[in-house]
Every structure is written in C-alpha cells, then in structure tokens.
Amino acid sequence: MQRRKQAFIALAATVALLFVALLASLAFRPTLILGIDGGTLAHSVDSKLPAIGDPGHCERGADGAWICHVLFEDDPGSGGGYVVYRVIANGLGCWHATRPPGSRSGDRLPARTHGCIYLWDF
C-alpha cells in the first residue's frame, strides 16, 4: 500500500510540473500554440518604442517579412504620423525590426529594435 501511495504522489507531482511548464510556455512563447498575426505583432513592436495612441498595424509582405506601421509624434501636438519598420519574426515569436534606409520620419525612434511576443500582447 505504501508503494502505491508513493507512486501516486510521484505521478501527481509529475503532472503538476508538466502543467506548470505548459502554462509558462503559453505565457512566454504563446506563438507556438496561437501563431503570429498582425495585431499581436504590432502590439509587441509598439511596446518597445515610444509610440503614441493605438498600436499601429502590421501586414505580412510578399517575402515573409512583416511591414509594421508605428504611430509616432515627432513634435508634441503635431498629431504624429506612421513610421515604417520591416520586421522579421521567428516561430517562437521573437522578432527584429529595422527602419528602412532613408526613412525621414521618426528620427527620434531607434533604427533597430527587437523583442518577443508574450501572452499579454494578444
């Protein structure tokens, strides 16, 4: 009887650990299950930049890269405009964003940034 109890406790602990690992992977790498869409990527990119208002939007380009438009206001009160970033995302939801060369708007924004999509970006 003692052996059965120990085996049950070991099984319950293993199941609990697997459940915690599943929850952690969902929180920190949700794209493995949920995938990447333009709104989620836009929210993640926007969170890394000093943008204003809505998180902008991203569209998948023909080459597989994403084109993200980030709303940014160069001068307070000017109303702002969109700054374009080309974003490469991997299957884990991590991404690298680069402003195209010659981009004149958003000079105060970084030319490059990177990050990952988390559950709170959905």
pLDDT tens figures, 30-87? 787 888 999 999 999 988 887 666 778 999 998 989 999 988 876 666 667 788 999 9
Quote the CA–CA distance of 18 and 24 in Å, as a whole number: 10
Q: Would you state the pLDDT for residue 66?
A: 96
Range of the domain at 75: 2-121
What b/e string do you get for 55-89 counting C-beta neighbours within 10 Å, with b at 16 or more?
Answer: bbbbeeeeeebbebbbbbbeeeeeebeebbbebeb
> Which tokens is 75 given?
């001068």
In 3-state terms, what secondary structure has residue 44?
helix
Strand partners, 95: 89, 115
Higher pLDDT: 10 or 98? It is: 98
Supply the mean pLDDT for the chain: 84
Higher pLDDT: 122 or 63? It is: 63
**Which residue, among 77, 76, 82, 72, has the nearest Cα to 52 in the 3D structure?**
72
**Which residue, among 58, 66, 50, has the nearest Cα to 107 in the 3D structure?**
50
Of the chain, the percentage scoring pLDDT greater than 90 comes to 33
The domain total for the chain is 1
Asked which of 12-26, 28-42, 89-103 is least confident by mean pLDDT, the reply is 12-26
- The answer to whether 1 and 88 are in contact (CB under 8 A) is no
